[in-house]
Amino acid sequence: MRYDGSIQLSFGGGRFTFRLALGELEELEEVCGDRKPDGSIRRVGPGLVLDRLRTNQWTTGDVLHTIRLGLIGGGMNQYEAQRMADRYVAQRPAWFENALVALAVLDAALAEPDESLGEPVAGETGTGSQTAGSPSPASIETPAP
């Protein structure tokens, strides 16, 4: 079976499927981009957002939008995904905890995950392309407020 970048993680008091497919990654490039002096947006690639998450140089937008778009890509409608992102990311001061969720979501989208990241959606297992000592989280439990 082919791995599709989906991952199941605990978030917001439940267990959800997250996935960043091409459309979500393209939107992430824009919403996490840098604003130029002329007002246009310089898109940033998902690898740069992943690097910022891995090195704790993320922005709040990197965290919020990665989680929101991951929920949408995982099958949640956009309104519910926005509600979840507002409630469990924007309105909670647990930014480092949420950054770990975003890291796991984006990491799963860009490479086959290590088994320690979560459960691949279709019961598929990857070869574990991550190196030892990766900062990626095991399973993120986010308690309901």
pLDDT mean values, one per 10 residues, the chain (145 residues):
83 96 96 87 92 96 97 98 97 92 96 60 46 42 47
Cβ neighbours of residue 40 closer than 8 Å, sequence gap 6 or more: none
Predicted local distance difference test score (pLDDT) of residue 48: 95
Predicted local distance difference test score (pLDDT) of residue 92: 87
Distance CA 110, CA 89 (A): 22
Partnered with residue 10 across adjacent β-strands are 15
Whole-prediction pTM: 0.75
Distance CA 128, CA 51 (A): 18
Secondary structure element (H or E) that encloses residue 78, with its range: helix 78-85
Residue spans of the domains in the chain: they are 7-117
Predicted local distance difference test score (pLDDT) of residue 5: 92
